[in-house]
Amino acid sequence: MSITLSTRLRDVSGSAIRDLLALTARPEVISLAGGLPGTDLLPRERIAAALAKAAADPAAIQYGETAGLRPVREVLAARESERIGRAVAPTDVVVTSGSQQALDLVARALLDPGDPVVVEDPVYVGALQVFQAAGAALHAVPVDADGMAVDVLADRLAAGLRPRLVHTVSSFHNPRGATLSAPRRARLAELAERYGFLVVEDDPYGLLAFAGPPAPPVAGFGERVVRLSSASKILAPALRVGWLTGPAPLCAAVERLKQSTDLCTSSLTQLVAAELLADRAFLTAHLDRLRAALRERAAALTGAVAAVFGDAVTCSVPTGGMFCWVEFTDGTRPADLLPAALDRGVGYVPGTAFAVAKDLSAAARLCFASNPPGELHTAVERLGAAWRASAT
């Protein structure tokens, strides 16, 4: 039977990454491709205990309020107030089924087809798909080692660009690994005020800084910001608990749209997330362990890359999060190398998968979060073998 798809869906990029993940799921492949937190680093036993507690409450297996359970919104509002440095009311928080849903709902609540939206280049592929599905007119602004090139954005705005939204993964960028510098954060918030756009600050990795406190959110510099975050990278993806905080009328619109989208997020998993996020002693200790392990993994990966590839590759210096970004300087094209790499048992995502307008054919994203150091060493050795074989 032939099925005619909607015009918009025809415009959405097929996910090269998803196809790739199927290949890297083969047990003999060490995958640096996914954006998966290390399963071994997640607090599974504590989650199991909290689940048991939640399931003992009859109300927790029923439908819940569309915007999220009130006690959950209170915990999230308190945490966001602390992060942002001003009071966020529980009513200015909407709990979503992961922060991906928050992004989708924001786009659908605000965008008409043809509306201009600024995305980063390289871009978070999930954001690209959301804005394509919303029919937005995409404008790419490059990302460098200090995050989005806000000066380039400022030039475009001065030249007349009037986006409705500017999307940024502000800390430990996916895929670039970079963190938006404090001066750029301040300027971005200021530009939002001046030109009347909303910043979508997509911040799932912000608490994963290897050292020192997390960077102050863009939302701390101005009010024209909707912040998205998630329990997926710090507690567990399977909770499917994310959230957004932002201007009250936007939260109301997102809540209305969420009702027809999936009615509500699971009360069971919301209660688990709220319990663990409210338990400061647990959370501090857990995040300390998680960050230390990620730091060790990042060092293992970048050390192995330097040892194997020498100056044939430049590699970002991870300061947090899950990704490092490599660029070959010897003409190697990671998309071309990939089949040989998979044959040798290692997967990664070529930079071209994240390109909007830039030529990223020399780049690749490597995730250091999913595997322990020994596996990361082996993965890079396999990659080196594929690379050397391709050069001959």
User: Which lies closer to a second copy via its Cβ, residue 48 or residue 158?
Assistant: 48
CA distance 255 to 261: 10
Among 31, 97, 171, 179, binds a second copy (CB under 8 A): 97
Minimum distance, C-beta of residue 192 to a second copy, in the bound complex (Å):
11
**Ramachandran area for residue 6 (φ above 0: left; ψ -120 to 50: alpha; else beta):** beta
Total residues interacting with a second copy, rule: CB under 8 A: 76
Residue from 83, 167, 173, 240 touching a second copy (CB under 8 A): that is 240
Q: Is the dihedral of CA 138, 117, 104, 182 positive or negative?
A: positive
Candidate residues 214, 237, 372, 373; the one interacting with a second copy per rule CB under 8 A:
237
The verdict on 5 binding a second copy (CB under 8 A) reads yes
Classify 163 as helix, strand or coil.
coil
Binding positions for a second copy, 198-217, rule CB under 8 A: 198
Contact 176, 316 (CB under 8 A): yes
Taking only Cα atoms into account, the Rg of the chain, rounded to an integer number of angstroms, comes to: 21
Enumerate residues 128-157 that contact a second copy by CB under 8 A: 129-130, 133
Nearest to 355 by CA among 386, 322, 327, 317: 327
17-76 residues near a second copy, rule: CB under 8 A: 18, 34, 36-37, 39-40, 42, 44, 47-48, 51-52, 55-56, 58-64, 66
Which residue is associated with the tokens 């690994």? 177
Q: Using DSSP bridges, classify how beta strands 147-148 and 165-169 pair: parallel, antiparallel or unpaired.
A: unpaired
Q: Which of 142, 214, 247, 372 binds a second copy (CB under 8 A)?
A: 247
Q: Closest distance between a second copy and the C-beta of residue 159, in Å? A: 23
Question: Contact between 100 and a second copy (CB under 8 A)?
Answer: yes
Q: Closest separation between CB of residue 213 and a second copy, Å? A: 27
* Binding residue for a second copy, selected from 11, 15, 293, 372, defined by CB under 8 A: 15
Under rule CB under 8 A, residue 101 binds a second copy = yes
Three-class SS of residue 137?
Answer: strand
Between 98 and 320, CB nearer to a second copy: 98
Scanning 183-191, 248-256, 304-312, 383-391 for contacts with a second copy by CB under 8 A, the matching segment is 248-256
Q: Which amino acid is at 300?
A: A
Question: CA-to-CA distance for 239 and 219, rounded, in angstroms?
Answer: 25
Positions in 158-197 near a second copy (CB under 8 A):
164
Binding residues for a second copy restricted to 259-288, rule: CB under 8 A: 259-269
Q: Give every CB contact of residue 107 below 8 A, 6+ residues apart in sequence.
A: 117, 130, 131, 133, 134, 136, 165
State which residue, 257 or 306, has the beta carbon closest to a second copy.
257
Burial class of residue 59, CB neighbours in 10 A (0-12, 13-18, 19+): exposed
Stretch that binds a second copy, among 71-79, 122-130, 309-317, 357-365 (CB under 8 A): 122-130
